[in-house]
Structure 1
Amino acid sequence: MTRKGMRSVFFRPPPSSSTPSTPSPHSSSPPLSDSIVEEILEVAKSFLARWGPHSTTAASLFQGDDRDESRQFIEVVNKLYAVMHYLASRDSSSDKLVSAHDLMSTAMERLQKEFFQILSVNREYLYSESVSSVQSPMPISVRSSVSDFELETEDEFGIANESISEVERVSLSAMADLKAIADCMISTGYGKECVKVYKTVRKSIIDESLYNLGIQKLSFSKVQKMDWEVLERKIKTWLKGVKTAVKSLFEQERILCDHVFSASLPIRESCFAQISKDGAMILFGFPELVAKYKKSPEKIFITLDLYEAIADLWTEIKYIFSSTASSNVQSQVVSSQIKLGENIRTLITDFEMSIQKESSKKPVPRGGVHPLTSYVMNYILFLSDYSRILNDILADWPLPEQLSMPESYYGTPKEEDSPITLRFAWLILVLLCKLDGKGEHYNDVALSYLFLANNLQYIVNKVRISNLRFLLGGDWIERHESRIKLYASKYGRIGWNGVFSSLPADVKTEISPEEARESFRNFNRAFEETYRKQTSWVVPDQKLRDEIKISLAKELGALYGEFYARNRVRTRRVSESDPVVRLSPDDLSNYFSDLFYGS
């Protein structure tokens, strides 16, 4: 066969109607013979003389838009590999086999150089949007089964050429070149050398990217010695960077690695695991270190943020590190979540204990809202924002059986009640029991009931304006509103009992003028004394304040109004300075309007 004829067989032009493909040693080719082997070795020697690893012919085989030379180089390597198999089967010690092996080594050295150069030059482009676009619903093992060099028509990633940016075009071109080289080196037995180059470049990129995101390797002892303010800043940095690390670093690196090494499932899984493992273990090991830090109830919210961040990214993490080679990363993520969950349950227990152990005995001035009430309810309110993940954390952590929840406080638990519903109801019950004890510190029983009404009203208001209303439900709110009315009623009966008892038992009964005058005097004295004492009391909630005033005005105003109407004209003024009838029913309403402002 003439040289011209040989080249026409060796370098086949791509079919005009289909994508040019990279020949493999197993693709269809003319049967080998000694003469064809001679021709192949001659062409390969000539080609590698121009494109050897130390050749100055050009900077790179894979530069520019014309890919004829790079395609031909790949064909040279594949044909050379077929020749080596042919010669080895005939005479494993022949000079021609040694020559072919030397030529192959030269070609592989060149491809290694090209592979390294493409990775290095394009390191900032391989995380562009075009890398993300490689994703598809199909399994990874099927995703990259198309040709290597096609970028002129709608390419293997499903992106129309005219619709992509220049950066994306560069990235797609580099990815195709990397895949072509990797396919060739793997198919000819040089996959190990190819992977070594890839790992060297890409691992450094992962490590550098994590460092730029503020993710640093920390030891347990170093974390334990940190001030909380320092650790909190590191946690916030981690929270800010973890989504980027997973979705824009590890996920795209996985996609890139899967594409480049699509020719071998074991290689791509092993390669990705080796370049990502160290960085991933540092990233996902940090939350576990935080979980072991000194505990206090206030740290629960940022701990929940850590747990939530992992939970929200779990689907991506599970996909990215799904191989057996990456199983230790998944194990670390699971371990961090378990430790965070345990930490959160401990912090909730500590929070409950802090409520029970609160020991202040000084009554809140004027019967207002206790600081413990506002602290606990704000804490629970913030917790309710994490109800989705708290249900997961508390799912296997029911209330202790010995801690029965009175039906009057919560109602009969329902099967559909979530763990967080029961837990929040229990925490509020613990608070209410504590408040009952606080109410006993008042010397005035009426004021203690006003205190209880004020604090329960504050609790119900917090439930109404937050996610707690969905968790605890309308029945819970109605039940506790009934208790507020009960407390308010008891306050009214006890606090104004002296005023009510100053009037005759039956205000419609006929009495003498002297008895009427005495009743008016007793009423004036009792009302002024009660009013003077209670003007310093406070009801912060306007709705509750108005309801108590209206109730007093209706009940006391009605009795006094009846007595006033029947007996006012039957009394006479004892002296100008001591009028017997000092207050009219309208005066009572005016006095009531001034109550509960703490003046």
Structure 2
Amino acid sequence: MAENGEEKLLAVARHIAKTLGNNSNMADDILQIFSNFDGRFSREKLSEAGGDDDPRGSAALEHTLTSLDRRISQYVSSDQPIWADSADSSAFLDAIDELIATVNDWSPMAVDKTVSACLVRADDMLQQAMFRVEDEFRSLMERGGESFDLTRAHSNGESTGNLSFDSEEDDVEDGDIEGVIRNGEGDQIPVAQPVSDYDIVIDALPSGTINDLHEIAKRMVAARFGKECAHIYSSCRREFLEESLSRLGLHKLSIEDVHKMPWQDLEDEIERWIKASNVAFRILFPSERRLCDRVFFGFSSAADLSFMEVCRGSTIQLFNFTDAVAIGSRSPERLFRILDLFETMRDLMPELESLFSDQYCLFLRNEGITIWKRLGEAIRGIFMELENLIRRDPAKAAVPGGGLHPITRYVMNYLRAACRSRQTLEQVFEDNGLPMKDYPKLDDRVASSSPLSVQIAWIMELLESNLEAKSKIYKESLSSVFMMNNGRYIVQKAKDSELGTLLGDDWIRKHTAKVRQYHVNYQRSSWNKVLNLLKVDNGSMPSNAAAKSMKDKLKLFNMQFDEICRIQSTWFVFDEQLRDEIRISLERILLPAYGNFIARFKNVPELSKHAEKYMKYGVEDIEARINDLFQGSHGSAGSRK
């Protein structure tokens, strides 16, 4: 072996002389320099090393290749798995190592025709060896996955036993979740189990198999077959991930499928997507990253490429669904599920940043960020659609009895529910709110608020304008009751909630004062004329004329009071406290005036004898009639939810 090494050394020296020497004299000079430097490079030995065709050097190479060919061929042509026997696998890898080293040693002398021909033969041998180790690599991955119990995983380094959460698949019963599933041909395909605790890592292959794969990968990379190794690896692991997502209930849907899907079905799909994405990005992908790094330890480029190819399809499937939802309908009822998607993507951003940070995966990270931002655009678009919905609600769509209008109930409950996600909405609107010139009716105090506060205040302004337009179809008194009802509901829904916090205390006070003003307007328009009838003249009117005047006023009062009570008993005030406030205020102004009028009436001599004949109501009767007001004959108009 030492003799063979010296022959190689002499052949290299002579090759250098021939390559650098422009003519025979220069080559001789270079050989003389080598001879003076080391006795092994004497002119005699260099001459013996081969003359122009270097026969001894190439003969040594041919001898080495013949020996390696014999050793490698027995494994390449074997019908049995090489890695079934550790001695065979070690011997095969040793032969490959020697072949790679031989090619590397002799490659500098490839300009020599004989050496070049030998290297072509060596490359062919190496390629055949690589084809076989590719098969062994694939077989190891498949057998390793089938033999390893995937229901075992690690959480903080400890075994946690079976991993499961309630499955949405009809064919899986609680407590009967296996580590593998079967395809239509009866083959077992390993899959990671759905879980609710994300602080775990799945070891999809046994440690011994991983070590064997690493040894093969190391040789394939050294033989410049790193990309082929990565492709084989990724094709096996990609199937694992795709089956895992399918096992989690995630369906492969096109954009068209998503857009045609009924909303209730899409809601269910979004729920499955959220669960699957959390498992994928927090468990499956990190576990795949860990496995790649172990198999391709020391070869970061191959590890990165393999990981990208493993995860690309599943990641794009997850992203495409979210993108389809984001660019779909902006109907307001979709807000809450899209908020769920936005928050899930936001919370997964650290995982995306960590997992997809290398050169191969960077496009996946960027795509994730783009789709996350697109979800934010969808949320802002939904608020714009809510504005349009309020604008389009027809002014003639009034409620009988002046009760609570459905648009008020819808908008207030919608905003109240939306503001439970205030932090998320603040994030969505922070850098994308409209300038104040697009909100012409909002005052300066709102202008200094957050973009979300401005957006909410603007929607409230649109709602109030819509209600004012609707109130015009009522007569004046009922118009005030209508605005009182809806204004009271708006204030109550805003108070003691995130919605009220966004609108601010000034806004609450301002709109509470508006409700009081509607109350004053109602009293003035409904009861001032009746109250004027109860005023008694203190002038020097003759007694007969005074008696007639009071008798006429009482008669007219009874008629007008009856008419008001008949009509307003069909009106509806939804809020019991507001209804009591209106009744109490009426009693305070009406009962004393009526009592005083009746007392004066009885003191008129011409009327005192027959006072009961003209008095239709006592004070208690007036109070009872007032208490019958605003009960409503249209229950649906006043339901409060």
TM-score (norm 1): 0.72
Q: How is 1:53-68 mapped onto 2 (pairs within 5 angstroms)?
A: 54=78, 60-61=84-85
Tell me the percent identity.
Answer: 30
Following superposition, the deviation at residue 315 of structure 1 comes to 2.1
Match of 2:321 among 278, 281, 286: 286
Following superposition, the deviation at residue 284 of structure 1 comes to 0.6
Structure with greater Cα Rg: 2
Matched, 1:194 2:226: no
Matched, 1:116 2:138: yes
Matches of 2:287 and 2:357 in 1, distance apart?
14
1:559 aligned partner: 593
Matched, 1:480 2:511: yes
1:589 aligned partner: 623
Q: How is 1:186-225 mapped onto 2 (pairs within 5 angstroms)?
A: 186-187=221-222, 189-213=224-248, 215=250, 218-220=253-255
- The residue type equivalent to 1:541 in the other structure is D
| Cα gap change, 1:81 to 1:476, in 2 (>3 Å) | farther
Q: How is 1:229-378 mapped onto 2 (pairs within 5 angstroms)?
A: 234-378=269-413
Matched, 1:464 2:499: no
| Cα gap change, 1:466 to 1:61, in 2 (>3 Å) | farther
Following superposition, the deviation at residue 391 of structure 1 comes to 2.6
Following superposition, the deviation at residue 212 of structure 1 comes to 3.9
Deviation readout 1:73-102 (Å, 9 max, x if unpaired)? 698469747863785489874999999989
| Cα gap change, 1:532 to 1:193, in 2 (>3 Å) | closer
Matches of 1:349 and 1:507 in 2, distance apart?
63
Match of 2:521 among 457, 466, 490: 490
Contact 2:570 2:631 in 1 (8 A): yes
Count of aligned pairs: 522
Matches of 1:288 and 1:485 in 2, distance apart?
48
Following superposition, the deviation at residue 296 of structure 1 comes to 3.7
2:445 aligned partner: 412
Matches of 2:221 and 2:496 in 1, distance apart?
63
SS of alignment partner, residue 84 of structure 2: coil
Q: How is 1:30-41 mapped onto 2 (pairs within 5 angstroms)?
A: none
1:433 aligned partner: 465
SS of alignment partner, residue 324 of structure 1: coil
Contact 1:131 1:252 in 2 (8 A): no
Following superposition, the deviation at residue 433 of structure 1 comes to 0.6
Matches of 2:96 and 2:143 in 1, distance apart?
26
Following superposition, the deviation at residue 322 of structure 1 comes to 1.8
1:396 aligned partner: 432
Following superposition, the deviation at residue 352 of structure 1 comes to 1.2
Matches of 1:508 and 1:587 in 2, distance apart?
30
Please identify, of 226-235 and 486-495, the stretch whose mean Cα deviation from structure 2 is larger: 226-235
Matches of 2:397 and 2:390 in 1, distance apart?
16
SS of alignment partner, residue 322 of structure 1: coil
SS of alignment partner, residue 287 of structure 2: helix
Matches of 2:396 and 2:271 in 1, distance apart?
39
Matches of 2:514 and 2:99 in 1, distance apart?
88
Contact 1:130 1:168 in 2 (8 A): yes
Matches of 1:87 and 1:291 in 2, distance apart?
58
Matches of 2:491 and 2:465 in 1, distance apart?
15
2:580 aligned partner: 546
Following superposition, the deviation at residue 434 of structure 1 comes to 0.9
| Cα gap change, 1:425 to 1:73, in 2 (>3 Å) | farther
Match of 1:532 among 566, 591, 598: 566
Q: How is 1:83-162 mapped onto 2 (pairs within 5 angstroms)?
A: 84=102, 88=106, 93=115, 112-123=134-145, 130=153
Deviation readout 1:100-142 (Å, 9 max, x if unpaired)? 989977876675455333321333759666477689xxxxxxx
2:637 aligned partner: none
Deviation readout 1:183-223 (Å, 9 max, x if unpaired)? 45435655344323212211222233334445555555565
| Cα gap change, 1:70 to 1:430, in 2 (>3 Å) | farther
| Cα gap change, 1:59 to 1:72, in 2 (>3 Å) | closer
Contact 1:53 1:113 in 2 (8 A): no
- The residue type equivalent to 2:487 in the other structure is L
Following superposition, the deviation at residue 579 of structure 1 comes to 4.2
Please identify, of 351-360 and 431-440, the stretch whose mean Cα deviation from structure 2 is larger: 351-360
Following superposition, the deviation at residue 374 of structure 1 comes to 1.8
| Cα gap change, 1:471 to 1:494, in 2 (>3 Å) | same
Q: CA RMSD in A?
A: 4.5
SS of alignment partner, residue 363 of structure 2: helix
Contact 2:536 2:597 in 1 (8 A): no
Please identify, of 463-472 and 533-542, the stretch whose mean Cα deviation from structure 2 is larger: 463-472
- The residue type equivalent to 2:286 in the other structure is E
1:503 aligned partner: 534
| Cα gap change, 1:330 to 1:412, in 2 (>3 Å) | same
Following superposition, the deviation at residue 43 of structure 1 comes to 12
| Cα gap change, 1:270 to 1:567, in 2 (>3 Å) | same
- The residue type equivalent to 2:445 in the other structure is T
